Amino acid sequence: MATHQDTAHRTGEALVTVLDADGTPRAGTEVVVEQQRHAFGFGNIGFDFVGLANGDAPDEHDPDGDPGTPELADLWLDVFNTATLPFYWGRFEPERGRPDTERLQRTAAWFRDRGVATKGHPLVWHTVQPDWLLGLDTDEVERLQRERIRREVRDFTGLVDTWDAINEVVIMPHFANGDNGITPLALARGRLAMIRMAVDEARATNPAVTLLLNDFDLSDAYECLIEGVLEAGIRIDAIGLQTHMHQGYWGEDTMLAMVDRFARYGLPLHLTETSLVSGDLMPAHIVDLNDHRVDSWPSTPEGEARQADELERHYRSLVGHPAVEAITYWGITDQGAWLNAPIGLVRADGTPKPAYDALRRLVKDEWWTGPTTLRTDESGQASFRGFRGDYAVRAGSAEATLTIGRDTPTELRLTTD
């Protein structure tokens, strides 16, 4: 099987023309180009920085508090350009009618002010639901769920315009690990009706919204569901694939075979939830990862070396696949990590692991263009090929930005003294 290591498809051409004030081409002029942001979505969760974005003082006695510090934020921002924010209904609105809107709006704005795109996770899910839904009839639950979708999409338009529209719908009608108000609704209405509800309400509220299906069940059940969605004319914008690998890295061949299966639908693929362990692996016999909860799960030197190697192989293979548009790693730090697992790229004490260094080297060195100095020809032109994304361009006294896109070459004209 091909390993898709080539990244040429991630690059594009740009042509810069430098002119005098009277429109005469300037030959022999230095042009400096420097990449500012990737078009590819290198993501991570932003859960840890809700407190920091809202100016909360850290509470040393609260083990469940946000671990985000300015130092951790610097590490996060130096690598990632897309943040997934938490909209779990049961935590976002634990008391009916009192959603945590303003805090999440400030968090989204904090990321946007730093050049980071944001995604909301999720609009519909059967887990982490508010207790006040229990006991309501299905019609009332559906009405409230529809209102919740419209409210969040409306209140965050311009701040969060990408959403996991519905999460883990393959098992939603038959989820049995705890009572919730959404599973009975999904059983009564069916999967396609649940997806249509999420998509239609979100898109009616914000026609420009980007909507994903997201699931951990990557079997043919998910493929059949996607085919049903497409046949029903329900418009989704991307397919979300969860790859939590607490039991060990799946390997390039397995991962790419899975990606190829979902690529055939012609939609962008987002690896929405990725994790790799830097300690002992979870036992292989465990089916539901949530069943393995331990008080202590330490990172080890051997595990950290393995994590760094596997993470680099994982990212190289996926960035090399033309259908993949984004990869979101599920956690910057071990502190407060899901299942208490050592999946972070930074240790609980704030020091980067080798995996952090490996990913930064890929994102900001190997897959980064500039700063590069060019010189214009007799026509006042200089061209270059760079990774798709945003660039700062300087020539003499003139400065501008350009974006290298997917298809046609990008052209920029600069007028300088």
Report yes or no: 241 and 264 within 8 Å, Cβ to Cβ. no
pLDDT single digits (tens) 119-177: 999 999 999 999 999 999 999 999 999 999 999 999 999 999 999 999 999 999 999 88
Mean pLDDT is lowest, of 33-37, 141-145, 277-281, 292-296, for 292-296
pTM for this model (two decimals): 0.94
Sorting pLDDT into bands at 50, 70 and 90, what band is 232?
very high
Question: How open is the CA angle 400-406-409, to the nearest 5 degrees?
Answer: 55
Sorting pLDDT into bands at 50, 70 and 90, what band is 388?
very high
Distances (CA, A) of 72 to 44, 78, 214, 384: 13, 10, 28, 34
The pLDDT, as a whole number, for residue 56 is 87
Cα 42 to Cα 272: distance, rounded to the nearest angstrom: 10
The pLDDT, as a whole number, for residue 62 is 46
Residue 339 DSSP symbol: G
pLDDT single digits (tens) 8-28: 999 999 999 999 999 999 999
Secondary structure (DSSP) of 323-368? TEEEEEES-SBSTT-GGG-S--SB-TTSPBPHHHHHHHHIIIIIT-
3-state DSSP assignment of residue 403:
strand
Instruction: Give the closest residue to 291 by CA, choosing from 328, 347, 246.
Output: 246
What is the average pLDDT across 183-196?
Answer: 98
Is pLDDT above 60 for 60?
no
What is the average pLDDT across 295-309?
Answer: 96
Beta bridge partners, 403, equal: 390
Rounded to whole angstroms, the maximal C-alpha distance in the chain is 76
Write out the two tokens for 394.
Answer: 């300087």
Beta bridge partners, 408, equal: none
Instruction: Give the closest residue to 342 by CA, choosing from 275, 395, 400.
Output: 275
Bridge pairing between strands 372-375 and 324-329: unpaired
Residue 56 DSSP symbol: P
What is the average pLDDT across 365-383?
Answer: 96
- Average pLDDT of the residues of the chain: 95
Is pLDDT above 50 for 3?
no
Mean pLDDT is lowest, of 190-194, 293-297, 313-317, for 293-297
Q: How far is CA 345 from the centre of its chain?
A: 16
Residues 6+ apart with CB under 8 A from 97: none
The pLDDT, as a whole number, for residue 409 is 83
The pLDDT, as a whole number, for residue 2 is 38
Bridge pairing between strands 389-395 and 398-404: antiparallel
What is the average pLDDT across 196-211?
Answer: 98
Is pLDDT above 80 for 1?
no
